[in-house]
Amino acid sequence: MAETSTDKYSAAEQGLGYLYQSRLALLQLLELPESTSVLLEKDDDLDFLDAAGSKSLASLKHKAHGDRLTDLSTDFWKSVRIWLARYKSDGRSASHLRFFLLTTATVSATSFLNGFLPSVPDTSDDARSLSQRAEEALGTSTSNLIHAIATEFNELTPTEKEDFLARILIVDGSPRIEDIPEIIKDRHMRAIRREHRSAVFEHIEGWWGDEVIKQLTGIRTDAIAGYEVSDRLSAFAEEYKLDNLPITFRDREPTGEIDTDSDPRTFVVQLREIGVSSSRIRNAILDYYRAYEQRSHWARENLLVSGEVESYEDRLVDEWRRYRDVVFEDLDDSTAEDVLKQAGKELYKWADLQSGNIDSLRIRARVTEPYVTRGSFHILANVAPEPRVYWHPRFLDRIGKVLGVSA
């Protein structure tokens, strides 16, 4: 584990707290009923809303290894101060609020805070109520902060004190931030093949992070529901089924300017040869980029079986050859250049607009994203030293002249 910074100006601890807040919220929504929803940084670190409209406020504390909660731990009492304000403003005993402290620390065995732990029997001989023990703990402190909290706590009636404290639950030993990914994969991804769980987790956390940012910036005003997480997890998992592959480069664009007039790559030169418009050439460059990067992504994640891409390209070339033979059937050595270009445009139009609708030309049955097929044709049109597909009927004869190399 990395050492904790001792720089008094370091923001590492605070930054870790915000990351923990987001990651633990994701875990909690997966653990709770799907009807539960969450708001971040509303009334507390996390506000959980159930289907009946009841609200639970959760304070989160990511502490150093070995930390203990004792009677006067400020982590507990600062949270109490927040909860007291919400309890009072929400009608006190008439409210439906519950309060949680989720901490990676553990409660000291001798602390009265053990009374707030779930399903932990009180083995002490102390017959006093929790409110009496809380008052005594508060009374022993000389801290101004604790004194102020004691004042606010004592504004409640004895009955309200008992009611307020009965709503508090401390969940100590909560998962540490670095452990949460494995917990999510172990508990909630058993239906996903083991080798794909890390990739699916990255997808779900990436989506989750975007939703959290939208909520914190006010772009999204409603709570994030558990069923949204379930739906997204299911959708990402579907992409890793044997008949599917994840699509991760939709709407991506290459860095730098797209130059349709002077791009020297063979597939672009081919399109200029048949007089394709600049806007369509730009689309082709985007399809090439997305398909190429998508294949690289699949390869990095070991999602492709041996020989799969080669077999896929063979299918594309075979289908292209069949359509080429139909389009070029009536051409001969005397055919005018404008007719040759028109034939090339017709062949390219098929690859650009129609081939993506042919089921047999999908790399896998459920990979329906058009740029995969269209971009793959451009990859084939870019093969050196001789492209495997071409559009202009005489392109292979002219390749030496057009590209400035020997044919």
pLDDT at 9: 44
Same domain, residue pair 155 and 271 = no
Q: State the residue range of the domain holding 85.
A: 12-177
- For residue 120, pLDDT over 70 is answered with no
The C-alpha atoms of residue 405 and residue 401 are separated, in whole angstroms, by: 7
Amino acid identity, residue 383? V
Q: Residue for token digits 């004792």?
A: 70
pLDDT at 125: 61
Judged by DSSP in three states, 121 sits in coil
112 located within any domain:
yes
Region of 296 please: left (phi>0), alpha (psi -120 to 50) or beta. Answer: alpha
Same domain, residue pair 154 and 39 = yes
**Residue at which a domain ends, from 125, 146, 177:** 177
**Residue at which a domain ends, from 177, 197, 227:** 177
Task: Tell me the average pLDDT across 103-107.
Answer: 95
Q: What angle do CA 267, 281, 326 make, to 5 degrees?
A: 65
- For residue 101, pLDDT over 50 is answered with yes
Strand 37-40 with 224-225, pairing: antiparallel
pLDDT in tens, 354-405: 998 899 999 999 999 999 999 999 999 999 999 999 999 999 988 766 555 4
Could you tell me which residues come within 8 angstroms of residue 66 by beta carbon, excluding any fewer than 6 positions away?
Answer: none
pLDDT in tens, 26-80: 999 999 999 999 999 999 999 999 998 899 999 999 999 999 999 999 999 999 9
**For all residues of the chain together, what is the average pLDDT?**
91
**Is the dihedral angle over the CA atoms 179, 102, 28, 12 positive or is it negative?**
negative
Cα pseudo-dihedral 116, 120, 125, 130, rounded to 10: 20
234 located within any domain:
no
- For residue 218, pLDDT over 90 is answered with yes
**Residue at which a domain ends, from 142, 162, 177:** 177
230 located within any domain:
no
Same domain, residue pair 30 and 168 = yes
Same domain, residue pair 25 and 171 = yes
Task: Tell me the average pLDDT across 337-365.
Answer: 95
pLDDT at 121: 59
The C-alpha atoms of residue 102 and residue 58 are separated, in whole angstroms, by: 7
121-125, 280-284, 348-352 — which is least confidently predicted?
Answer: 121-125
Same domain, residue pair 159 and 290 = no
Tokens of 127: 């017959």
Same domain, residue pair 24 and 156 = yes
Alpha helices in 254-403 (DSSP H): 266-273, 278-300, 308-327, 337-349, 370-380, 395-403
248 located within any domain:
no
- Looking at the structure of the chain, the number of domains it has is 2
Task: Identify the CA nearest to 22 among candidates 74, 49, 67, 58.
Answer: 58
pLDDT in tens, 222-281: 999 999 999 999 999 999 999 999 999 999 999 989 999 999 999 999 999 999 999 999
How many CA atoms, within 13 angstroms, populate the side-chain half-sphere of residue 141? Answer: 20
Q: What is the CA radius of gyration of the chain?
A: 32
Give the H or E element holding residue 99: strand 98-103
The C-alpha atoms of residue 368 and residue 378 are separated, in whole angstroms, by: 17
* pLDDT bracket for residue 3 (50, 70, 90): very low
* pLDDT bracket for residue 1 (50, 70, 90): very low
- For residue 119, pLDDT over 90 is answered with no
56 located within any domain:
yes
The C-alpha atoms of residue 32 and residue 40 are separated, in whole angstroms, by: 16
- For residue 311, pLDDT over 70 is answered with yes
Same domain, residue pair 16 and 122 = yes
What is the percentage of the chain residues whose pLDDT exceeds 90? 83
Strand order across the 55-61 sheet: 168-171, 98-103, 55-61, 46-49, 37-40, 224-225
pLDDT at 405: 47
The C-alpha atoms of residue 333 and residue 337 are separated, in whole angstroms, by: 10
**Which pTM was predicted?**
0.73
221 located within any domain:
no
Same domain, residue pair 144 and 275 = no
CB 199 within 8 A of CB 237: no
108-122, 202-216, 353-367 — which is least confidently predicted?
Answer: 108-122
Burial zone of 222 (CB within 10 Å; 0-12 exposed, 13-18 middle, 19+ buried): exposed
279 located within any domain:
yes
Judged by DSSP in three states, 122 sits in coil
* pLDDT bracket for residue 2 (50, 70, 90): very low
Could you tell me which residues come within 8 angstroms of residue 61 by beta carbon, excluding any fewer than 6 positions away?
Answer: 75, 101, 102, 103, 104, 105
Same domain, residue pair 52 and 153 = yes
Strand 98-103 with 55-61, pairing: parallel
Task: Tell me the average pLDDT across 306-310.
Answer: 95
pLDDT in tens, 279-295: 999 999 999 999 999 99
Tokens of 319: 């289908």
Could you tell me which residues come within 8 angstroms of residue 215 by beta carbon, excluding any fewer than 6 positions away?
Answer: 39, 40, 221, 224
- For residue 5, pLDDT over 60 is answered with no
Q: With b meaning 16 or more CB within 10 Å and e meaning fewer, what string describes 74-106? A: ebbbbbbbebbebbeeeebeebebbbbbbbbbb
pLDDT in tens, 149-190: 999 999 999 999 999 999 999 999 999 999 999 999 999 999
Tokens of 172: 């100590």
Task: Identify the CA nearest to 290 among candidates 254, 236, 260, 263.
Answer: 254
98 located within any domain:
yes
